[in-house]
Structure 1
Amino acid sequence: MEKGKHWLRPFIGSFRHKLILTSIACLLVPTLITLSVSNVLTRDAVQEQAEKNAQEQLKLIEGYLTGLFDNMLNISNYIIADPDMNVILKEQAAGKEYTGDNAEYREFADRYEITSKIDNISIIGERTYVTILLPNGRFFINYLLHEYDPRLLFEEPWFPDLEGLTGMAAHWVEAEPSPYLYEKAAGRQQISVARTLRRPNQRVYAYVVVTVPDNQIESIFERLGTGHEVMLVDGENRVMSHLDAGRIGERLTYLSDEPERSSIVELDGERYLVAQHAAGIKDWKLVLLTPYKDAVHQINHIFQTVFAFQVIAFAVFLVVLVLLIRAFTKPLVTLGKLALTVERGNLEMRSRMKGRDEIGRLGRQFDQMLDRIKQMIAEITEEQSRKRKAELRMLQAQINPHFLFNVLNSIRMKVLRKGDKESAEMLSSLSRLLRMTIDRDEETITLHEEVSTAIDYVNLMNMRQKETVTLSVAISSEAMLAQVPRFFLQPVIENALIHGFQQRSGTILVSAEVEGKTLRIAIRDDGTGMSPAAVTHLRNRLKREAVPTDEGDHRVGFSGIGLTNVNERMRIRFGDAFVMHIDSEEGSGTTVTMFVPL
């Protein structure tokens, strides 16, 4: 299976091949579905058309056969309707004796009149045997007596059925071997129709029997041509007439009881189309038996021709489609090769596409991208060069802070050896404060470290003032370890020193505790406080989103960062979760409360 996938990979790996295969699938699948459905529908349509054609052929045969049977009835009707013939037949049936002069001639004349008439009405077309049989045994025929004695009709098994005929009713005799000498020698069958002539009292005075040999029916069957098997069967589905005399009398078990019916049956391993059609006489019917492949051959040939044309058209269209797809995707192949070239490091190649379609725009954008990449590489190279130079200058600049820390530490040690602890402590605080502001890269520190920085800042500020400010700390142990941004306490304490005390002594209390997931920090001083208008003004400034460019008195101090800057820094970092409250009264001091999310 893996080998098969490896073999197919070159054909399905590229966009062009995927597009071609997808197009073929999109054409082939609907085509196959259409052909499959069409094949099913065509098969049904072919069968239906074949059955329809078979019925049409049977109707044609039935027309010829009806003409034959009508001729037989017309002959009998002529005899029944001829008054002169009926007068003679009645007299003969009554046992008329010819006496007197010319008796023999008159008897001959009467017989001649009847025989000549039945000869005349039966001479047209194929040979038809006409028999007029009287109850007393006298008869009139249009054939020679040595061929067949008509008085033998009294012995036929069907002859008693004639007694039940009334009016113009006729009795059709199913196929039976012909007793006529000529027909018998040829081994033919015959079909007869019998009528009765009755007096007003319904007493029969003559029987009319018209008989035709089955070769006349066979000649009708032969008009259908070869490849078909036509037969006339009776109500019990027994063959009455067939071109093959050996089939006469055979019972066809596969026939349906419905006279107008077509079906497909399998006989001796081959499928046949069986069509049935009423013959118009009794319950007789015509049966057409045709090999199914022959019945649908012509129709199949038409559909096969159409199918072949569809296949050829599909193949031609498929070739054209593949060629068009190859032409349309050629720019994409070019872009693919260009991408491989760029992947190897050659940024000088360009597609140079000029088309106005999507692929042309893609090519131009690809070229622009390469130009931009080349430009960015040059910019990055130049930037890296400048960065290396800046790092070198930064490394050189770091020497000054370290040198300053070492010098301050040496001065502190000398001052301490001379016994001036206060000056030594001031230098120590200054050194720690400088190190915290200059030498630390972390964005967050513990609250403990932030408070230590604030203490150092207050100690240094007390060295500048005549009166000292006391910084008290009331922070829980849990709050001491909380991570907070650097230098967010110093600006608040700076404002308290400068604006709250104004060079006077006082106390600043820094308290902190953890409340759930929030660190609450309060910086309270007992300075001069602010008026309500000043408090309102400051609160409004804290609500602004942008940091003011000019903060007036709030920018005075060690770091130059005011309350609004602290508020903005904290809101940038923590969003709306950070809250700062300012409460102040004139003469009672100011309290700044901050809620910092942990």
Structure 2
Amino acid sequence: MKGGTWGMYNKIVLPVRNFFQKVSYQHKLFLIMCITVLFISIFNYGYLYSVIKNRLYASAYDNLAVSTDQLANNITAKLEYFSGLSNTIYSDYQVMQLLTNEYVDPGQYVDFYQFIGKYIQRFMAADPYILSITFYIDSNKIPPDMKYIKPIEQLEGSALFDDVNEARGGIVYGPASRWEETTVGESSSGTGSGMSYSFKLVRLLNYYTYGSNYGILSIDIDTRDLRRMFENELNNKDIFIVDAEGAIIVSGNSSHTSRKLVDVVDMEMTGLKDRSYTTIFFNGEQKLTTCRQLKNGWRVVALTSYTDVVRNINQSLLRMFVVSLVILGLSFFAFYVISYFFTRKVKYLIRLIKNVESGDFDIKVINAGDDELGKVISAFSRMAKKVNHLMKEVYEKEIIGKSTELELLQAQINPHFLYNTLSSMAALARRYHDERLTGMVISLSDFYRISLNKGRKIITVREEIDLTRSYLRIMMYRFEGLIHSEIHCEPQVMNYVTPKFILQPFVENSINHGISGDEGIRIFISAEEKEDKLIFTITDDGCGMTPDVIEKCLNGPSSGRGYGIRNVQQRIAMLYGDSYGIDIDSSPGKGAKVTIYLPLIRQ
């Protein structure tokens, strides 16, 4: 296995690698772009093939569904028309009286037949596709003429008779059957002699007052009335109208009429669900099929050629393939031109780099251009001119760095000297019983012990509060009786951390600018946890500040009034971002309130 892998590497990978090592950068760039675009094109073509194929299939199904829905709606409207016609005859009181009378005189029969004949002919003349209208009546009451009046015994025992009785006055549609006309003169529909197919609309006749039946109304309708609704679509579709039992009422081929659909089309009736879609074989060809069910249980089954859909898909994909080849050819040509102009500047940049490598920093670039490579060449030229200066700066910074290290070593000694000196001063003050001096020295010692503690920049809230208390005690010794302070901190915030010296600058600002003459100042300091933030508040009742002064304190120059406040704001922004910082609320004569927002970070 290892030998086979090594042999493949020697035969394929190694020659390709050697080839790429030998060819120029321009040709490498050209080949990489061509291969990349080729792979992308193949992927896009496969993706578009799938998308277009699915969309054309969906479009074919949608077109088939729309036409089938329209046909189903038209047939429903036609059946409702025939239903309305039967309602008109059913509710005609005069017809009901004539059909239920008991006739004795033969002359009365003649008048009855003449009236019924004219009555029925009026409806049939209005619609030439009505082949006949027949009343099936008890022959013991009215002698049948076998044209408009027929004995009800002809229907008894048939499935249609059982269905119409089960419908209890509702309309029943019978299966399609042959309708044979003898002569033109006897053709009740006026459609000419010959043979056609019809279906029956049947309903009970009863006294709608008493509810008892007196006969059956039957209307024979030419199936061509339904067929003409979809004749224009038979060029590219096969359409079947099927009754609830699966028998064909009408289709594009009259020879299929009255046959079972399953005997004509290779599919099961169970697959003909309303708004279902499937693919079947019919007449040796694959078909896309859909079905719509009507209110009376009939189904409209439509088939369209699957081959036509595939042909449209292949034609679309062929056009897309030709267009893709043209685009690829143009892309390859454009890549070659681009690679040439691109590598030309790269070669020029390589020459400049070699000059700098040889020690020639005096580079003059003429018309490098404004594109990315042109800017790189111009930047490289400017960089080369500054190399000597930068080298000198690096040398000077190294000397300064060494000096800084010495100063830091010295700074580590100074705090110890300062603590020892302050301790000696405090011992001397106690010896001479100077309590004020003792307290001031101890406070100053505590202040510097925390502020200079091993150079730490982040301390706990407890340490920051102790630092501020020490500073306040020092100031109270200085401004005896003029400073009144109160500090309140929630216990749970004492172990959170905070940048060092964020309270002292504000307390100092309140004391320096809030005390006027012999008037003192009250300072209240609090620390709390609120809305997932650590919040410090410094409030005083001093002389306050104008909006201009507040703006200078926060955003003024790096020297002068407010420098300490700006320093705090900048440190918070550098450590925690712009979501945290300082808010100052003050106005002249009403004191000031400073709120500091910090994140909740435990020690």
User: What is the TM-score normalised by the length of structure 2?
Assistant: 0.48
User: What is the TM-score normalised by the length of structure 1?
Assistant: 0.49
**Which protein has the larger Cα radius of gyration, Structure 1 or Structure 2?**
1
